[in-house]
Structure 1
Amino acid sequence: MAWQHQAKRWLYLTHRWVGIVTCLLFAMWFASGLVMIYVPYPSLSPAQKLAGAQAIDWRAVNVPPPVSPDTRALTLEMRDGQPVWRLEPWGAPTITLPAHGGAVLPPVDAAVARRVAQGFSHTTVRDVKQITRDQWTVAGGFDRHRPLWKVSLADAAGTQLYVSSSSGAVVQATTQRIRFWNWLGSVPHWLYPTVLRQDNAAWRQVVLWVSGPCIAGALAGIWIGLLRTRVGHRRFKGGRMTPYHGWMLWHHVSGLGGGLFLMAWIFSGWLSVDPGRLFQKADLPEQAERAYAMGTPMPSVTLERLRALGSDARQIRLSRDGGLARLAIFNGDGIRRVYDASNGQALRPSDATIAKAAQTLIPSGHLIAIERLTAPDAYWYDVGALPRLPVLRLRFDDPAQSWLHIDPETGVIIEHLDSRRRTYRWLFDLLHKWDLNALTLHRPLWDIWLWLWSLLGLVTSVSGVWIGWKRLRRA
């Protein structure tokens, strides 16, 4: 039929001309994705922050915890050699107050940033300059710290630390090696240059409209690959299943072998920015969340008790999530100890106590299951490592089928997963990162799996680029 002939012609034309550009993108994405397996985007973990933090100078601490009804949590730590209280009011920015009577906290200028960086790294500072953002601080999570002080250290690794102008704390760190590999990894993979990523709305649109044609090109290629494959008796000359030779043969065979993986990968990449906000989870009711976090009065805690419990602490945090006032003591080795804030005794809250308080967070449903996870599973995991354990999982029968992951010691809500986010876990995380515990906890199985399919994708992409280049030269 004429319409079938015309449809096939457009199929070939679409794949040919869209494929020239999309294969370049695919080659870049597969190569940069392999880099990201070993060098992820830089971030400063809580453990790294504690390791670099100064031990609390108890000789200078003489201001008791400034508790107020609107305070969600309090943290005692050091800032530029001075002890400070960090107050976290509900729905408002953190407030920093001196923990030493009569002390005045100077603004975070270049001199303060230099001292903070030196204390954090125990290394000489080479240069300090103020920035609004750069490639490693472009994400919105740094907005509350802007402007930032970028401190370059005089070490062999070429370390750069970023000090918040609001808190005076180190909030990001990179090395020359991490920066180099990220220019070959995360930056091209996420289409993440600063000039684009600083406008989140524009960046999302670029990702959507760049990856969209790639889906069309991949679909057309898979269809053509199947049309040009003969498995039965009517094979091509010489009994071959494919009519192609040379670069076209490589493109055809690798495209068929890795086509479904490539399709799943680009589709999940398109989903990474959640088009249409289809997988945006429902928010917890603000009043219920506030009641959960601040429902019990914060008891008066003496400095003597804090000093006795945290004599070698880098950070002490007072909170009252889930109806129990707690003291969390953090040391430089990252180990956390949790106590009852009212009496200073080691705290072992029952799962039932937390679950009872958490029921109010999901007013449209009832609690139907309580589970204490002591090992990772399909929804609680960390790629290549063990997640925080144990963790409490509460399941509800509300319309969104909500799950809550809660720290059983502190009562902090770690994660809220509803049915949409659990679906997203499979459509994006699995298809894009293949983050099954069976693979990631038994490396190098995960590495081999990703390398196998990525190499197939690279062969498909590179051969497509070469074929397209030859076609353009003849055009």
Structure 2
Amino acid sequence: MVRRWLYLIHRWIGIGSCLLFAIWFVSGLVMIYVPYPSLTRAERLAHLQPIDWSAVTAPAPQQAGLRSIVLEMRDGHPVWRITPWEGKPSAISAEVGRAIAPVDAAMARRVAEGFGRAHVSALKQIERDQWTVAGGFDKHRPLWKASLGDPVGSEIYVSSSTGDVVQETSHSERVWNWLGSVPHWIYPTVLRQNGEAWRQVVLWVSGPCIAAGVTGLWIGILRTRLGRRRFKGGRVTPYHGWMLWHHVAGLVGGLALIAWIFSGWLSVDPGRLFRSDGISDAALRDYAGDAVPPTVDGLKAAGAVRVEAISAVGQPLLLVSRASGKQRVLNGRTFQPFRMPQGRIEQVAARLVPHAPILGIDHLTAPDAYWYEAGSLPRLPVTRIRFGDPAATWVHIAPDTGEVLGTIDAKGRTYRWLFDLLHKWDLNALTQRRPLWDVVLWSLSLLGLVTSISGVWLGWKRLLRDGKSRHTDRIRTGVKT
């Protein structure tokens, strides 16, 4: 009876799941080379205008409780962008010192043309679309969507609250993502705009697929004979044709297929098992301190496109960036190159996780299993502080500035292995030696595709055969009647 149910579950769930598997394998391969569109820091800096220092006549806002103060150009004019520790960010003119006027269509058009360096062929205001459906864009809604007349078919999204460019896509990115991220994540706008509904769909679609994979591997093992008692002709499998392909590919690549679908199911954190509170803003503020409004004369740096005033480990800093992405770190009071005082990070780091001892401090000069980037090097060197709190928190800090770069606790480290490794195979031994990583993913994906496509074909033939049998039975019943 157990074997009968094993076959029934795999047969009927497998018909639909194999189609999903095929879609996920193809779309996953696309995502290796064309990720979901996002506007990176480097891209944003490359499109910013150099700061016109002659127009910067209004001082930085003098107020307490600021997380950062940024000076950059917007719509041909310098602006101060203010981010408090509590509350919403705002923008103030660096020419007249007053709040910026609302972002209307004319301003959005100018911002988009300045950013994309091309004529805007169409402009409209939207709440969301396929490339701005995530919750991170909520504070910028409604968005101004500008279509540019450039050769790559760019679309620029401008925040109606700050005037910032918050997203950029090209025609090629959009086409490939309809073949990649959108089907892979089950990500159409109509579903993804409701976060919990999308999460439940992913859970209940991928969950049964795990059952199909596990039962298939189980059946594959049961139907394999490697010892003396083999099938006719000394064969280790009884199958031929499409069933042979399905059996062999499923056996060889079955564990990888199950690992992929299981980790994909974990991507939406069923049961909120891996949810973490992280470090509170209050603790971050106590560690870093408030940003100190700089004087305009001390700020001036030729060629700078962005100047950000922050505080880290109680030290006021200025981060001066150029369009190339190169950044200088200056002392916020003396405007001289900043050097972190010896031992300062270790002295102040305890404030990040109050009432918890520091168990250890590591200085990393190379990536490891918990500090890495797939396909590139993460920011190095980095200081890792390990705390003895109940969550077993680790904090990664930039040793040159004292900025907190990331945190990870015991749940996050477990999730790193159960999701990141099983879904992306993102071990440094592979990702830092491309195309080795690509070869591994392509090999496993092709095995999965053979398993999936053969399963779809076999399922389709079974449905046709069952339908034909029922039709024949009805004819016979009618004749007898």
Q: TM-score, with normalisation over the residues of structure 2? A: 0.95
Could you tell me which of 143, 155, 161 is aligned with 2:156? 161
How many pairs align?
A: 466
| Contact 1:323/1:354, CA 8 A, preserved across alignment | no
Matches within 5 A, 1:41-440: 41-101=36-96, 105-294=100-289, 298-299=291-292, 301-307=294-300, 310-350=301-341, 352-440=343-431
Residue number in structure 1 paired with 2:469:
none
Q: Are the counterparts in 2 of residues 35 and 185 from structure 1 also a CA contact under 8 Å?
A: yes
Question: Could you tell me whether the CA contact under 8 Å between 1:28 and 1:188 is conserved in 2?
Answer: yes
Conserved in 2, the CA contact under 8 Å of 1:351 and 1:408? no
Q: Distance in 1 between matches of 2:170 and 2:280?
A: 41
For residue 82 of structure 1, report the CA deviation from its aligned partner. Answer: 1.3
1:460 to 444, 451, 457: 451
Deviation at 1:372, TM superposition (A): 2.4
Q: How many Å apart are 1:293 and its aligned residue?
A: 2.9
- Structure 1 residues 6-25: aligned runs within 5 Å: 6-25=1-20
Partner of 2:475: none
Say which is worse superposed, 273-282 or 443-452, in terms of deviation.
273-282
Cα deviation 1:290-348 (Å, max 9, x = unaligned)? 21232xx65563211111xx222111111112211101101111111001101112112
Q: Which amino acid aligns with 1:65?
A: A
8 Å CA contact retained: 1:300, 1:342:
no
1:442 to 429, 433, 440: 433
Counterpart of 1:243 in structure 2: which amino acid?
P
Conservation of the 8 A alpha-carbon contact between 2:61 and 2:293:
no
Q: Which residue of 1 aligns with 2:470?
A: none
Q: Quick one: distance in 1 between partners of 2:280 and 2:102?
A: 36
Aligned residues of 2:294 and 2:332 also touching (Cα < 8 A): yes
Alpha-carbon distance in 2 for matches of 1:104, 1:12? 68
| Residue equivalent to 2:473 | none
Work out the CA distance in 2 between the residues paired with 1:288 and 1:13. Answer: 55
Q: Give the Å deviation of 1:213.
A: 0.1
1:63·1:100 contact (CA, 8 Å) conserved in 2? Answer: yes
Q: 1:300 to 1:127 in 2, by over 3 A?
A: closer
**CA RMSD, 1 decimal:** 1.3
| Structure 1 residue 67: Cα displacement | 2.9
Conserved 8 A contact 2:294-2:309: no
CA positional deviation for 1:169: 1.2
Distance 2:230 2:72 in 1: 74
Contact 1:163–1:172 (8 Å) recurs in 2: yes
Question: Is this contact kept in 1: 2:375–2:434, CA < 8 A?
Answer: yes
Q: Is the 8 A contact 2:109 2:120 kept in 1?
A: yes
- Equivalent residue of 1:263, what SS? helix
Partners in 1 of 2:250 and 2:341 — Cα distance? 54
CA distance in 2, matches of 1:350, 1:135: 47
CA, structure 1 residues 104+275, in 2 after alignment: closer, same or farther (shift >3 Å)? closer
SS in 2 for 1:405: strand
The question of whether the paired residues in 1 share the 8 Å contact of 2:121 and 2:148 is answered with: yes
> Match for residue 28 of structure 1?
23
Matches of 1:401 and 1:299 in 2, distance apart? 33
**Tell me, what secondary structure is at the counterpart of 2:122?**
strand
Cα deviation, residue 283, structure 1: 2.6
Q: Distance in 2 between matches of 1:254 and 1:461?
A: 9
Letter of the structure 2 residue corresponding to residue 17 of structure 1: W
Are 1:401 and 1:418, in contact at CA under 8 Å, matched by a contact in 2? yes
Distance 1:473 1:300, change over 3 A: closer
Which stretches in structure 1 are left out of the alignment for 5+ residues? 1-5
Q: Evaluate the alpha carbon distance shift between residue 246 and residue 427 of structure 1 in structure 2; reply closer, same or farther with a 3 A threshold.
A: same
Q: Structure 1 CA distance, aligned partners of 2:341 and 2:135?
A: 37
In 1, Cα distance between the equivalents of 2:398 and 2:156?
A: 30
CA distance in 2, matches of 1:289, 1:320: 11
Query: For the residues of structure 1 that align with 2:377 and 2:281, how far apart are their CA atoms?
Result: 31
TM-score (norm 1): 0.96
